[in-house]
Amino acid sequence: MNINGIKANFLGDSITEGVGTSARNKIYHALLAEKCGFSVCRNYGISATRLARQKVEKHLPTPDTDFCNRFSSMDDDADLIVVFGGTNDFGHGDAPVGSPSDRTPETFYGACHFLMSGLLEKYPQSRIVIMTPLHRASENCPKADGSVLYDYVRILREVAEYYSLPVLDLWSLSGIQPCVEKIREMYCPDGLHPNDRGHERIAGLLEEFLKTL
């Protein structure tokens, strides 16, 4: 994929919004846009948001800010759409994981299907890329249903494969594992949000990945 001069939309949570960075131009997509000469780079990241619809909205200034509710209002003219979420569905989401047959936003499985199919309808000629969550502190502390963060990573991969959407698997490839003290100090001091160096690493991986598409 030739990414010079493209218009790009980035849909995500606090990492995409830029929490953990020292300035907005240090966010991974801003770094990528500057280096690769995007004509437009739009940040649709909102802190604490999740893919799935919640039973009780928490940590948010307004309700109904889940990815499934927001994607339809993004600008229509993007050549590239990057979706980066899922860690909050695990971290503080109350929507159940659900099952592979779900197609509504009330479960994580259903939200993945609803979002990815909806993006394909909205952007049939654009490139849509899914990024998996990064590793985080307490990633193996199970929720009430026994699920851990890796289950959400696996579901994102599974549903993206169903829709034939490319996946940049940051879980496997980023080299950011905050359970390793030195890595946490260098890239992810709070155990969740990458710092400037962490965003540089994500931007580099995303650039190389896009060039293979």
Q: Which residues contact 117 (CB under 8 A, 6 or more apart)?
A: 103, 163
Q: Is 129 helix (H, G, I), strand (E, B) or coil?
A: strand
Average pLDDT over residues 183-196: 98
The 10s digit of each residue's pLDDT in 135-153 is: 999 999 999 999 999 999 9
**Residue ranges of the domains in the chain?**
7-211
Question: How would you classify residue 43: left for phi > 0, otherwise alpha for psi between -120 and 50, otherwise beta?
Answer: beta
Q: Taking 80 as the threshold, does the pLDDT of residue 210 lie above it?
A: yes
Average pLDDT over residues 95-99: 96
Structure tokens at 87: 């860690």
Q: What CATH number was assigned to the domain covering residues 7-211?
A: 3.40.50.1110
For position 116, what pLDDT does the model report? 99
Neighbours of 104 (CB within 10 A): 14
Average pLDDT over residues 23-45: 98
Q: Is the dihedral of CA 57, 61, 64, 65 positive or negative?
A: negative
pLDDT band at 21 (very low <50, low <70, confident <90, very high): very high
Structure tokens at 40: 């437009």
Can you give the pTM of this predicted structure?
0.95
